[in-house]
Amino acid sequence: MTTAGIVLAAGQSKRFGDQNKLLVDFQGEPLARHAARAMAAAGFEHLIAVVSDQEVEILFDKFEIAHSQRGSQQSTSLHVGIRRAVSLNAQRIVIALADMPCIEPTTLKTIDNLCASEGLSGCTDGTTVSPPAGFSREYFAALSGIRGDFGARSMLRSIPQRSMLKCPHEQLLDVDTIADLSACPD
């Protein structure tokens, strides 16, 4: 059974200001490079980055690139990634966000292992459910039907506790504003 690791990196950075947050320096490297490195180190058979910016694309040199139109909603990027995973005959996907720089490769691999046994999986800090998340092929159609700018949030909320990986809050930090950068651990 093959797994495709998908990093969604085509966001609009609306709350971050004038610059593309994925290119902002974080601990000496562009923010998105951290998520790319973690996904690559997880050891999945396929690596897919969904991007809309050429400058971001070069941060994903070990990935197959799937393009999403600049300014499209997160669900559109999700659909693009799923289509690419299907074309590669992936049986599972692990989805991560490029603006989550503290995610660890072991977390991504554990999400895949939970998905292999349960069909779907997600992360929680004990309060909030969030990506990264894993989905077996039986969920690809439902994911492809999601609309709007909230990605798979509705599906994440329905994941049973036994399929949830408890992670430290800091690891699940999603950088949406400049202030969020200062909340990241060193």
Encode pLDDT of 10-43 as tens digits. 876 555 566 788 998 888 999 999 999 999 999 9
| In-domain check, residue 113 | yes
> Domain total for the chain?
1
| In-domain check, residue 181 | no
pTM: predicted TM-score of the whole model, two decimal places: 0.92
Return the CATH number at 77: 3.90.550.10
Ramachandran assignment for 126, one of left (phi > 0), alpha (psi -120 to 50 degrees), beta (any other): left
pLDDT over 90 at 169, yes or no: no
pLDDT over 60 at 46, yes or no: yes
| In-domain check, residue 157 | yes
| CB contact at 8 A, 98 and 23 | no
Establish whether the linkage from the previous residue to 132 is cis, with ω within 30° of 0.
yes
Q: Which two tokens stand for residue 163?
A: 């399929």
Domain that holds residue 104: 3-12+19-175
How far is the C-alpha of 164 from the C-alpha of 110, rounded, in Å?
10
Return the pLDDT at 21.
84
